[in-house]
Amino acid sequence: MTKAGAKSTLSWAAMMLAGAATASAPHLAQAAPSASPAAEATGASLQAVLESKTRLLKLLLAQSPAVQRIPQSGNAQARKKLADAQELVAKADGEAAAGHTEAAVRMLDESLRDIVAATRMVPDAGQLAAQERSRYAALSESTRAFLVLYRSTAARMAAGKVQAQGSAPDIGRAAGLIEKAEALAANGNHKEANAALNEAYRIAVSSLNRLLMAETIVYGLKFDSPAEEFQHELARNRSYEELIPIALAQLNTPRDTALLSERYTRQGKDLRDSAQKQAAAGDYPAALKTIQDATAQLQHSLRIVGVIVPQASER
């Protein structure tokens, strides 16, 4: 960032921190931005910058709601930053009185950086509560989606006499944690509700992964016909496909990684379409090979975003 850009950013941050204070003193909004480097080259312009920054910093320290939260907070580091900022403003006054304008301006800029850092350590309680509520809604939806996938996959595997050992009690515990989270959220305690949901989410994902692993490594499945085997593989393929959007949303996947994952997903869907056409034509050996390749693409898509799934070669 250029020197001018950094100063502009500091001025903008000061405006945000001032909050209601600037609303009662709108003339400061015009005074706050730094002069350009060229303008600051003259003593008169630099003096004007010093005066505007001094007014703004003192206004922030006296009236900013964000700053006023800091002394009452339990955050010692934030309180230390604020104390440093106040000390720098006092020193800047001394430097200004001695005619050291440039040094005073530098101290005010450093003071503002300390104020911004301190306020970030002590966020607004209302904002935090809103974030917890938003997280609860997203986490609840994702956890329930994984449980639905687990149950549908387990039902399909049970029909083929395939079971993952030890998952059912865990799933029961996850359901209990969801109920606990609902009760906590109903009483407005979204922070503890999210802690319960985090554990439920971990159990659901782990149990589903064990289920998919069991389905992948079992060699002895018996089918009455090639058509039945193809339908089993098709359902297995769709289980992985349903996982992908949940994983992308829940794991906050970076854009580049998400785009790569989506490319493998599209390839998997294209292969599945081809497999269904082969099956419709009665070519089940080819259809089974193609649908397994399609599932491998979906597994690759999930591994890219951080979901551990078994390799297709394990079948």
With a pLDDT cut of 90, the percent of the chain lying above it is 36
Using one digit for the tens of pLDDT, what is the confidence trace for 47-61?
899 999 999 899 989
For residue 41, what pLDDT is reported?
47
**What mean pLDDT do residues 215-242 have?**
75
Phi-psi region of 188 (alpha: psi -120 to 50; beta: other; left: phi over 0): left
With a pLDDT cut of 70, the percent of the chain lying above it is 75
Using one digit for the tens of pLDDT, what is the confidence trace for 101-148?
999 999 999 999 999 999 888 877 777 788 888 888 888 887 887 888
For residue 315, what pLDDT is reported?
39
* pLDDT confidence band for 40 (50 / 70 / 90): very low
Using one digit for the tens of pLDDT, what is the confidence trace for 74-109?
889 999 999 999 999 999 999 999 999 999 999 999
Q: Report yes or no: 61 and 104 within 8 Å, Cβ to Cβ.
A: no
Mean residue pLDDT of the chain comes to 78
Could you identify the residue written with the tokens 């209302």? Answer: 126
* pLDDT confidence band for 182 (50 / 70 / 90): very high
Where do the structural domains in the chain lie, given as residue ranges? 3-121, 124-217, 223-315
